[in-house]
Amino acid sequence: MDRRVCLTARASVALLCLLLASSAVRAQSELRWGADPSGGAPYVFADPANPERYIGYELEMVEALAAAMKRQPVFVPTDWETIVSSLQRGTFDIIVNGLEPTADRARLILFSKPYYVFQLQLTVRRTEERIETLEDCRTRMVGTLVNTAASRLLEKEQIPFKGYADPVGAYRDLELRRIDAVLMDVPMEMFYARQNPRLKPAGAPFHRGTYNIGLRQGDEALKREVDEAIDKITRDGTLERILRKWNLWNDAQAELSAPVPIGAPTGEERAAYDVTSTSFNWTEAILRLSRAALVTVLIAFGAIIIALIIGLPLAVGQSRGPRWIQALCTLYVEFFRGTPVLVQLLFLYFGLPRVGLAMPGWLTALVGLGLNYAAYESQVYRAALEAIPRGQWEAAYSLGMSPLLAFRRIILPQAFRIALPPMTNDFVALFKDTSVAFAISVWELATAYRELANASGEFLWLGVIVSAFYLAMSLPMAHLARRLERRLQRRQTVRTTAEPVAEAA
């Protein structure tokens, strides 16, 4: 017993030393790199055979780079849309995620030399015959990843498009006919669409661009280190081997292997490959925010109407219906209150098409939030209805009213007055909850903020503007509700004049 305790103690001390030592080493020679592994094939993604492990050509490339730099690679999973901000915040030191060196990004971060030449591929449904080139999409809806070379090209060409957070969602919506085409980098297209029998490529790959590694501004030393490492793995054929393994090698890559002098002016490189920048334009941004605000208002008001209409029968059914109706209503309420609205929206958007019901995103958000808030409204109604004394029902019945008439003329108006303040609360909350619609790629205000801010880095000022938009929508509603409340109140007490003299006499 004693010996075992002793051994354990010695082992822990040894382990502690090891940990301390390793962390000290790590601090010196780590290469912390960030990428978005969700829907991230073939760049970096969870191994389908072993989801604990990440694989991907960029993962292998970073391992090779790190080896050349004599550093230990540490992968930091992150979110594509906020990847530049995360780099700036210091969550990791480099971005290796098929990042294109656009001019607007170049204002925020440094770029290494290119390591891959990509092209874009347009994909359509197998049965599609109208679309062969991007030109054919002018009146159609094209899906793409947000904040990519593809999305910027579409923006520049003024082709209507819808931004997705990952390629899976875009190709699925294409299958479901929610959109008409998808424009994506060839590596992603090869992995997610090429094998799909319901989809086909439209035309040949086009619009050349490069992937570069992103670094924080001021990290010149690390940039030199990275550039040298890229040169090394390009020269010794490591990069080619990795790309061939992932079936990503093509003749265009050979351009990069042509010896480029280290420290060549980056301006030239950018001129060669950067055709996808959009400079940030405040007027345009505010215009787009206004459009997003309109979508938000549409979703919120539609959802409010659904919630108001469905909430009432739910409340009545739950408190007065036959037992099986009560059980059904309770089940509905508990389901929608007990599960996150985000999960409900994803279910409606991606789950329902399985049974043949594919709604567009904005309608899904409208219906989903409406159904969700109906559950809450039913409880507000129920509490309000139960707050009406039984004597009110009895007085109405005694005057010969039917239950329906008594409900409509006597109970409901009183219950409405009680329900109004909590209802107002809920609807202000609903306004803000419309932001979950970003999960299903609806271009509402929160999505717009994320995308515009990620593209420009203007989180602060865009945030102020977006907050102003939200307040401009919710404050008038709160004000309106308060006025209505006060008016209802005044109706009751406006004439609390002193009793007439005749009465007192």
Partner 1 sequence: MIHVEGVTKEINGNRILRGISFRVEAQTVLGIIGASGSGKTTLLRCLNGLERIDGGAIECDGVRLEGTLTAAEYARRVRQLRRKVGTVFQHFYLFPHLSALGNVVEAPIHVLGADRRTAETEGRELLTAVGLKHAFDRYPESLSGGEQQRVAIARALAMRPGVVLFDEPTSALDPRRVVETRALLRRFVERGHTMVIVSHSIDFLEGLADSLLYVEGGEVVEHAATATLLASPRDPRTADFLRQAH
Over its C-alpha atoms, the chain yields an Rg (Å, rounded) of: 30
Is 94 within 8 Å of 31 (Cβ atoms)?
Answer: yes
CA–CA separation, 260 and 53 (whole Å): 35
Nearer to partner 1, 224 or 483 (CB): 483
Applying CB under 8 A, among 13, 272, 387, 395 the residue interacting with partner 1 is 395
**245 lies in the binding site for partner 1 (CB under 8 A):** no
**91 lies in the binding site for partner 1 (CB under 8 A):** no
**492 lies in the binding site for partner 1 (CB under 8 A):** yes
Q: What is the dihedral of CA 211, 215, 61, 184, to 10 degrees?
A: -30
Q: How far is the CB of 406 from partner 1 (least distance, A)?
A: 10
**387 lies in the binding site for partner 1 (CB under 8 A):** no
Applying CB under 8 A, among 308, 401, 478, 484 the residue interacting with partner 1 is 401
Q: How far is the CB of 416 from partner 1 (least distance, A)?
A: 9
**471 lies in the binding site for partner 1 (CB under 8 A):** no
Site string for partner 1, 413-432 (x = CB under 8 A): xx--x---------------
Which amino acid, residue 152? R
Q: State how beta strands 142-145 and 181-185 pair.
A: parallel
Question: Which window, 38-46, 67-75, 431-439, 494-502, contacts partner 1 (CB under 8 A)?
Answer: 494-502
CA–CA separation, 419 and 412 (whole Å): 10
**337 lies in the binding site for partner 1 (CB under 8 A):** no
Nearer to partner 1, 351 or 421 (CB): 421
CA–CA separation, 180 and 126 (whole Å): 11
Half-sphere exposure of 483 (CA within 13 A, CB side): 6
Applying CB under 8 A, among 399, 429, 471, 472 the residue interacting with partner 1 is 399
**495 lies in the binding site for partner 1 (CB under 8 A):** yes
Is 168 within 8 Å of 192 (Cβ atoms)?
Answer: yes
CA–CA separation, 35 and 96 (whole Å): 6
Q: How far is the CB of 505 from partner 1 (least distance, A)?
A: 11
Q: State how beta strands 94-99 and 72-77 pair.
A: unpaired
Token duo for residue 50: 């072993």
**410 lies in the binding site for partner 1 (CB under 8 A):** yes
Q: Which of 289, 301, 308, 302 is nearest to 377 (CA)?
A: 308
Collapsing DSSP to helix, strand or coil, 403 comes out as helix
Nearer to partner 1, 200 or 417 (CB): 417
Site string for partner 1, 129-168 (x = CB under 8 A): ----------------------------------------
Collapsing DSSP to helix, strand or coil, 42 comes out as coil
Binding site for partner 1 (CB under 8 A): 389, 391-392, 394-402, 405, 409-410, 413-414, 417, 488, 491-496, 499-500, 502-503
